[in-house]
Amino acid sequence: MQQLVMPKPELIIVLASPRGFCAGVERAITIVDKALEKYGAPVYVRHEIVHNKFVVNQLEAKGAVFVQELDEVPANAHVIFSAHGVPKSVPADAEARDLHYFDATCPLVSKVHREVEHHHAEGRTVLLIGHKGHPEVIGTMGQVPEGSVWLVETVADVATLPSALQGNDLAYATQTTLSVDEVVEIIAALKARFPEIYGPRKEDICYATTNRQLAVRKLAETVDALIVIGAPNSSNSVRLVEVAKNNGCAEARLYQRAMEIDWAWLQNKKRLGISAGASAPEVLVEEVIDACRDHFCVTLAEIKVVEEDVYFNIPGQLRS
């Protein structure tokens, strides 16, 4: 007796665009690739070059060795600093230990570093909007002497800042990967309490973070569920889930790989949105789509909010 094969349920997948790799991430990964090509393995990398295990594993397979601190790197070796940026003490330590280093800090993070240095040189106390313990925050605060920067994580933190700051020259800067909406609220609170506070000429949240959040905001209004592909320690990926939930899609989840997806969760869903954090490669998006095809009859669509054409050069020593 012939067994009846049930047809797969239909699912419309709507892709957010832009999504995935940004210019800063592309630059950082290229720096590691080019260093391996030029100098051969091993090339050492301090911390994850970007917050994505798939990317890290690929580079490890080519001969990159990831370390937490420079004391794990042998003398005269080549070492690369991650895209998130490092305190000034790190390159100073590398030079003291005769290490050959390349700085893969995203140029937009470096811009924030220079802002903080400028404000410190002008005698201002800097209020940095960001998340405690994030590598970018550690790197930014480490551009100036300890105590020169106060960290502000929430609107509530603004009210707890010491009254003594009222009389000081103040400036603010922000981590580049935060929620645009959340930062707007914190900046408004800072300006309300400290009307004379200095801010950046151009906002610090990077173009890629802004664009991916805008795409997810529009996507969230049109889908039943939304998957963000990214790592749990990736600030910009976590923020995309928050943006989706705050803009009409309560069923938003973060997954690193297709193998993690809870397929029962997607039962009875008709429209699934997919985006990817700035450190997640497009191959992982394709992996999720292919996995969906195993369970559903898939139709693809896309919401595009802007075309990105940003490119950052790699160090001259690696361009040949």
Can you list the residues of the chain whose pLDDT is less than 70?
Answer: 1-5, 167
pLDDT of residue 163: 84
Alpha-carbon distance 129 to 157, whole Å?
Answer: 10
Give the model confidence (pLDDT) of 176-196 as tens digits. Answer: 999 999 899 999 999 999 999
CA dist 127 and 132 (Å) reads 13
Count how many residues are written for the chain: 320
How far is the C-alpha of 277 from the C-alpha of 212, rounded, in Å? 8
Give the DSSP letter of residue 123. T
pLDDT for 203 equals 83
- 48, 115, 136, 182: the catalytic one is 136
Domain spans, the chain? 10-21+207-304, 23-106, 109-193
Under CATH, which number does the domain 23-106 receive? 3.40.50.11270
Residue 1, pLDDT score: 54
Structure-token pair, residue 257: 């790989």
Distances (CA, A) of 111 to 55, 90, 93, 279: 25, 18, 22, 19
What CATH class has 109-193? Answer: alpha beta
**Which overall architecture, per CATH, does domain 10-21+207-304 show?**
3-Layer(aba) Sandwich (3.40)
Residue type for 319, please? Answer: R
Catalytic (active site) residue 26: no
pLDDT of 107 reads 97
**DSSP calls for 162-220:** -GGGGGS-EEEEE-TTS-HHHHHHHHHHHHHH-TT-B--SS-SS-HHHHHHHHHHHHHH
Tens-place pLDDT, residues 191-223: 999 999 999 988 899 999 999 999 999 999 999
pLDDT digits (tens, 9 = 90+) for 285-298: 999 999 999 999 99
Identical fold between 10-21+207-304 and 23-106: no
